[in-house]
Structure 1
Amino acid sequence: MSEIKVPFSYCKISRASNLLGCESTDLINLAIEGRIELCMMLDNFHCRILFKGSMEMADDWYSKLTFPSRVMRPLSGQTRAITKHSFIEFSNKKYFDSKELVTGVDIFNEEEGNGFIVGYAFAHGLWKVGVSVSGFEVNSTINNMFPGFSPCLSGDDCPVVQILPAKPFIENKETGRLRIDNLEFKASYDDLWITSYDIRRIIDSGYDFDSLSVLNNKGLPEFDNMGNINNQVIKSHPTAERHSKNRLDVVMAAINFKEKHQDAFKSECIKSDGSYNFTEWARQVLDRPALFPNCEIKIKSIDTVQGYISAIFKAPDERR
């Protein structure tokens, strides 16, 4: 529909804005509205992977994954493409210790309840920025961005819901307490990337941004066996995408409350034995709309919010 050529698979938003003749803030706005995805480039990000499904489903899913076909830098042989641009090195990297080495689907070794399992591995490539992208609407630099991501251009086929930093959860196994201090980092426009898929959607819309479909409702591209976008198939998956986003919103709100309202958290959400009071934690979070994107709370049920929070923060021996 347009003679403008897109000579790359992805680029930083500064280059995309020059190509499109718009401002970087315009792309930020589109991402906040859910009309495009903005991503960050990860390299050896040690992460906690939340997988929607059972161990058996993970085994079947993993058996169908392939090694990334379009990567210029060296990657471990344990790396697999879970989407066209998002890769996971399915390993604990203990390659010189055969007794301790864990690879493949065996990285998934925890059950979260409510149909989720957890594994620890290393992420590479482009990963979608979650609710944190809203912070770029008023500032070109965010000093306290929390590293929570989901797969780039995943559609409804990828059961990986989100990845979070692994270190605090691994330490939680040993200590029974989860500390997320010092995980926030400084990020700027220069850290944000966009795919050619979304750039072409903007071009094909005739630069009428309001006409771009909301990805949560319209769906994301399906890829053929060669990793190419099949433009003829756009799947609809509003429920799965919406639930994943709502869950992430709750988790991020819980983390922000713990870090930014420490006095209230310690007095209301810590029991006398030092364990978490998840019901009160959920209540405190729901009482603070400012913790959520656009001050909008999509989930009102204390039980549901408590379930999301406890699934992340419970000590391993407390999980059933």
Structure 2
Amino acid sequence: MTKKNDRENIWLRNNIPALEFCTLSRAAELLGCHLDDLIHFSEIGAIELCLPLHNFEAVLFTTELWEEGNAWEVKHPPKMMAKYINKSPLSLFMPKAEFDMNPTAKVRVKRFYQHEDTPGLKKPIISLSGLWALSLGFLPRSFYSALKNKEQISLTPFNLSFKEADIQISADDYGADDYVVVAHPVTEHFYSNGLRNEDEVKPIATITVDDILVTRHQIEKIDYSIGADIPSILNGGVLQTEPSDVAIEKPVRATAKQSDLIVALLRAIGLTDEELKGSISELMNKANSRARKLTESRVETLPFPDDEASTISWLKKGGVNR
């Protein structure tokens, strides 16, 4: 029996250099499987399906990336021609902006935002180009059956969400410094009266299976799994962590500045550096005890996170060498 590590890779078997991406039909031909097999692998989260985009207007999913000191905006100033790449070389983006070429203009660049005048909802509008992976959690149930039947399917702004191609995402990525770009279509105009006006929700894209692309990474993932289980949502090999407008339960996070303040306050109530480096449970007990004494029992417990890993992360970001 030929071991998978001894088997020629898919490109050598097909006598071609590696394709960075291709249509689903071509991928099935190269792999020697049915088109429906690839659609099934996508449906269980084993592989990603991508759409090619060209200056598609979308909204950066999370506000946590850019709110504090506008770090995201400083890192990504609008440009006239060039586009940005974050983690995937296939997925390009650029902040939406207008440029005033008049040398006497006081404001040379105007950025655009969704919910610009609503704190907490304000998010940068960006344009997407290249290949972007479809987020499974937003697609309608009829999506996969339409692909299998080679039918057209219309998608509204609420059926679409995109992330960088080939980059796995987890709940820990939301708001993290090492973030993955996730974006969804602009939807602000559907809420003119505060509530969503369903009559205004119209399809913005009509696609068929021929519009779907699959990347080299996804093809090689299938090829490597031939004759064995492929990691998926069903077998736990892939985590189902799709973003949505519903709050995501995730570990408590703190920025470096917040962590500095947390550590300084712990030291201020009398905790020593050795105690900060010791057992987390003992640290929490001592911190609660000293806080109760300082406040004459007005504090029952300090709001430490439920998991010790988050507390350790706070301490490390605050400069405690554990």
What TM-score do the two structures reach when normalised by structure 1? 0.54
Moved more, 185-194 or 57-66: 57-66
SS of the equivalent of 1:138 reads helix
Alignment counterpart, residue 41 of structure 1, candidates 52, 55, 64: 52
For each residue in 1:84-108, what CA deviation from the matched residue of structure 2 results, as whole angstroms up to 9, or x when unmatched?
Answer: 12211113244657647335xx868
How much has 1:79 moved relative to structure 2?
Answer: 1.6
What TM-score do the two structures reach when normalised by structure 2? 0.54
* 2:142 corresponding residue in structure 1: 135
* 1:204 corresponding residue in structure 2: 224
CA shift in 2, pair 1:66/1:246, >3 Å: closer
Counterpart residue identity of residue 29, structure 2: N
SS of the equivalent of 1:102 reads strand
CA shift in 2, pair 1:247/1:59, >3 Å: same
* 1:31 corresponding residue in structure 2: 42
Alignment counterpart, residue 101 of structure 1, candidates 106, 109, 133: 109
SS of the equivalent of 2:56 reads strand
Q: CA RMSD in A?
A: 3.7
How much has 1:215 moved relative to structure 2?
Answer: 6.3
For residues 49-60 of structure 1, the aligned pairs below 5 Å read 49-51=60-62, 53-56=64-67, 59-60=70-71
Alignment counterpart, residue 207 of structure 2, candidates 183, 187, 204: 187
Counterpart residue identity of residue 131, structure 2: L
Q: Indicate the structure with greater strand content.
A: 1
The question of whether the paired residues in 2 share the 8 Å contact of 1:43 and 1:125 is answered with yes
Q: Indicate the structure with greater helix content.
A: 1
Alignment counterpart, residue 232 of structure 2, candidates 192, 214, 217: 214
How much has 1:35 moved relative to structure 2?
Answer: 0.5
Q: Percent identity?
A: 19
Is 1:169 matched with 2:188? Answer: yes
* 1:79 corresponding residue in structure 2: 83
The question of whether the paired residues in 1 share the 8 Å contact of 2:58 and 2:183 is answered with no
State the distance in 2 between where 1:100 and 1:63 align: 16
* 2:155 corresponding residue in structure 1: 145
SS of the equivalent of 1:125 reads strand
* 2:33 corresponding residue in structure 1: 22
Larger Rg: 2
Where in structure 2 are there 5+ consecutive unaligned residues?
Answer: 12-16, 170-177, 248-322
Aligned length: 212
State the distance in 2 between where 1:102 and 1:207 align: 54
Counterpart residue identity of residue 135, structure 2: G
Where in structure 1 are there 5+ consecutive unaligned residues?
Answer: 68-74, 220-237, 249-320
